Amino acid sequence: MSTETVTIHAIGAEGDGIARTPQGPVFVPFTLPGEEVAIARVKSQGTAMSWATTSADRVAPKCRHFGPEGKGGACGGCSLQHWADQPYHDYKRGLVIDALRSHDIETEVAPLVTCSAGERRRVTMSGRLTDKGVVLGFMQALSHTIVPVEECPIAQPAIVAQLAAVRRLASALAAGSEPFRVTIQVTTSGLDVNFADLKKPDAKKRQAATDLAMREPHIARVGLENEILIETRKPMIEFDGVPVVLPPGSFLQATASAESAMAELVIAHVGKAKRVVDMFAGCGTFSLRLARKSAVHAVEFDAPALAALDHAARHAQGLKPVSIERRDLFRRPMLPLDLKHFDAVVFDPPRAGAEAQCHELARSKVARIAAVSCNPVTLVRDLSILIAGGYKLKSVTPIDQFLWSSHVEAVALLER
């Protein structure tokens, strides 16, 4: 380890400050462009020790658990709480612009759709059983140390209010000292709490956790991986007024406002299409909204999610026909022959993107495509395939669904 003073030139794709040195770039968390910082350095990683100059864009973090200035420790849940709104928003939009430029794609990039503190309805925390009880919080950056948290400004108040209850459940279920994860989601009927990576609890622990959950009025369900431990009420979510029962461990967009913004863009682009394919459809985030005006074919590999979508569509009023297909689009993408009767395609894949499917879409005659992604790098790779196949990229809209992080959502709209 060496100690030196560096000047921060930019914020990198992971949210760290970047200093240029003769030995190459050094990445320093919790710093800002223009700051002169004394760091302890190990290879390309730096730890800020003191500041000779600070940026005018530096603001007080909203959370006491954040960063080296926080009193509770360097929580790794956020990386950019210390940055003023405007440069932070410019950075988020710039992630998408830079990704497009890396593939020489010229198009309109809309202003960033922003989000606010207290909107996250889904958080995943880390936990560990210690001699003093369960520690519940977020992993420190570049570390396996869990920083315990008592509050979280990005999370909905409904989550923060029940952190003590979640810790009690974890204490009843956990055994050994291995770390585990717990995902907490807000639904209309209460919290859906799902544990993963726990050592399999015995019957006594299961009963203790069940008894605790029965006494927690704000918790609708407790799950272990994809198994239901106890469900006092079915966790419900609504997509444009259509109620859906969430399967255990199912994916839900992190904020309702971002989900609505994405859906509005997709629906406006699809327009009056009579038949739409929704790829990587999940529980119906887009399918059930699109079905207000179009017949929808929902394609998804996750069987419980697809079943939840199907059940919701069958019991909803005022929808056009919704058909379903269980299919692994990574290994068996839909071919041009499969797509010939559809007017529009929507796809929202995992971070890996939809490369194989885009090669087939590029050979199809589908008139409109709406591409949704949480990873600008794989999104731009997929857009390049579609553009090479004859599609015109009309617009890209970045959406800040992941507040104070280096992650950004985007919706790209294409026409043949």
- Are 215 and 275 within one domain? no
Query: What tokens does 345 get?
Result: 């395609």
By CB atoms closer than 10 A (0-12, 13-18, 19+), residue 332 is exposed
| Mean pLDDT along residues 351-355 | 97
Residues 193 and 261 in one domain: no
Give the pLDDT mean for 372-383: 98
The reply to whether 269 and 384 lie within a common domain is: yes
Q: Give pLDDT, residue 76.
A: 79
Provide mean pLDDT across the span 136-142.
Answer: 85
Question: What integer pLDDT is reported at residue 70 of this predicted model?
Answer: 44
- Does residue 84 fall inside a structural domain? no
Closest CA to 245 of 298, 299, 193, 307: 307
Residue 348 marked as a ligand binder: yes
Same domain for 150 and 45, yes or no, is: no
pLDDT digits (tens, 9 = 90+) for 38-87: 999 999 999 999 999 999 999 999 998 887 744 445 787 899 999 999 99
Instruction: Tell whether 206 and 289 lie within a shared domain.
Output: no
Among residues 137, 129, 125, the alpha carbon closest in space to that of 185 is found at 125
Least trusted range by pLDDT, from 244-253, 308-317, 338-347: 244-253
202 pLDDT above the threshold of 70: yes
Core vs surface per residue 269-289: b (16+ CB within 10 A) or e: bbeebeebbbbbbbbbbbbbb
Section 346-356 average pLDDT: 97
Q: How many domains does the chain have?
A: 3
Question: What pLDDT, on the 0 to 100 scale, is given for residue 77?
Answer: 85
In this structure, are 27 and 103 located in the same domain?
no
pLDDT for 72: 47
Q: Which amino acid is at 394?
A: K
Does residue 73 sit within a domain?
no
Nearest CA to 309 out of 322, 321, 320 is that of 322
Share of the chain above pLDDT 70, in %: 98
Tokens of 167: 């810790």
Q: What tens digit of pLDDT does each residue of 398-414 get?
A: 999 999 999 999 999 99
To the question of whether residue 238 is assigned a binding role by annotation, the answer is no
* Structure confidence at residue 73 (pLDDT): 57
Mean of the per-residue pLDDT values for the chain?
Answer: 95
Q: What is the mean pLDDT of residues 235-262?
A: 95
Output the pLDDT for position 141. Answer: 73
Is 338 one of the annotated binding-site residues?
Answer: no
Q: What is the domain range of residue 408?
A: 91-115+255-415
300 is in an annotated binding site: yes
pLDDT for position 64: 87
Q: What are the residue numbers of the active site?
A: 374
pTM (2 d.p.): 0.94
Based on the domain organization, do 274 and 228 belong to the same domain? no
